[in-house]
Structure 1
Amino acid sequence: MKLNINTDFTKFPRAVSVLPAGAAGATVPFGRAVLAHDERHLRRRAIELADGGKVLVDLPEPIALNDGDWLVLEDGRHVEIIAAPEDVYDIRARNAVHLTELAWHIGNRHLAAGIEANRIIILRDHVIKAMLEGLGATVTEVSEPFKPLRGAYSGHGAGHNHSHAEAHAHSHAEGHSHAHGESHSHSHSHAGHHHDHD
């Protein structure tokens, strides 16, 4: 939901913190918000709940919410975040090594990606689809909740957000040339978003 300059936010319950998926235990949520991938990246925004109610998310810093995370309201109630179904590609490879190679190419394009044992999930893009098929991947159009790995676009510091698919690719591609024409080694520390270049 887009913010309106005339909206009276004082009438909305306010969410002030986040609990990771599973941390709330057997707590019953006050409500659920079904959000697409890009809608789960937020700091201060009103969101609509499944029952039509609204909550003002007012967090101290931007965050990328995962499916199953919980927003904690000022009064202690909880709102569960549900990943909405989206139009995505189900990408399959010939074997584990081929899947890693595909992840490397996807990561070097800084695309948000869900990485599983036998497939990769990305948002649909016909140019990327053609590239992957050219690399021997089997690409199927499906509609399902998109759950990219945290860190793909976390909102913390422009220019320092690399997907975990990219990190995985860097760790397995020894002596590679970087996709942007650079040829250097990388030291990644995702906790502090620090990058050393030799």
Structure 2
Amino acid sequence: MITCSKLMPQGRGLASVLVKRASTITLDWDTRQKSRFDAVDSSQRQLGIFLPRGTVVRGGDVLVAEDGSLVRVEAAPQTVLRITACTEHGSPFDLTRAAYHLGNRHVPIELKPDHLKIEPDHVLADMLRAMHMTVVQVTESFEPESGAYGDHGGHSHDQSDTSQPHTHGPDCKHEH
């Protein structure tokens, strides 16, 4: 078994050609939330993943194996509920309201401009339908938000580092 104990979020810092050549593992959200798990990569190698506690693995992340090889993580398609505003008698604000109510229940949620995704839950589906939302079960990858204190694109809003002020706007010089 080959051990992987380093994670490079979204392969940052690696040449894209290296990431494209890397073997892959396809994992569902349940597994990607764990910091320790076993997997088999696309080259049929047995991998033991040992990351710091609390680490969440995202689709597009790259693991570094003990032998120096790279393993690209893909988010597996899984059953999720896709939630959209009712086109007949709803409004785009309804999606915001639904996200609020789901967040209030601490439900892992993926936010998109025109829909939300959550793991299947018939009680929540009924609640959303009562709010006149359209709820459909689909098979897609699931990448829920990391939460208020999670990673939001690889930079910190910690103001203790004053060597470079953090600004948003045309002179921001980093991606969001």
Q: What is the RMSD computed on CA atoms of the aligned residues?
A: 2.3
| TM-score, normalised with respect to structure 2 | 0.74
Other-structure match for 1:117? 113
Other-structure match for 2:171? none
Other-structure match for 1:15? 4
| Inter-partner Cα distance in structure 1 for 2:35 and 2:62 | 14
Percent of residue pairs identical: 32
Shift, 1:22, TM fit? 4.5
Residues matched between the structures, number: 146
| TM-score, normalised with respect to structure 1 | 0.67
More strand by share: 1
**SS where residue 38 of structure 1 aligns?**
helix
Shift, 1:51, TM fit? 4.0
Q: Which residue among 38, 47, 50 is the counterpart of 1:46?
A: 38
8 Å CA contact 2:31, 2:37 repeated in 1: no
Q: Which residue among 85, 89, 93 is the counterpart of 2:81?
A: 89
Runs of 4+ aligned structure 1 residues displaced above 4 Å come to none
Other-structure match for 2:161? none
Equivalences for residues 25-174 of structure 1 within 5 A: 25-26=15-16, 27=18, 28-93=20-85, 94-151=90-147
Shift, 1:29, TM fit? 4.2
Gaps of 5+ in 2: 159-176
| Inter-partner Cα distance in structure 2 for 1:20 and 1:98 | 33
Gaps of 5+ in 1: 1-11, 153-160, 165-189, 192-198
8 Å CA contact 1:29, 1:79 repeated in 2: no
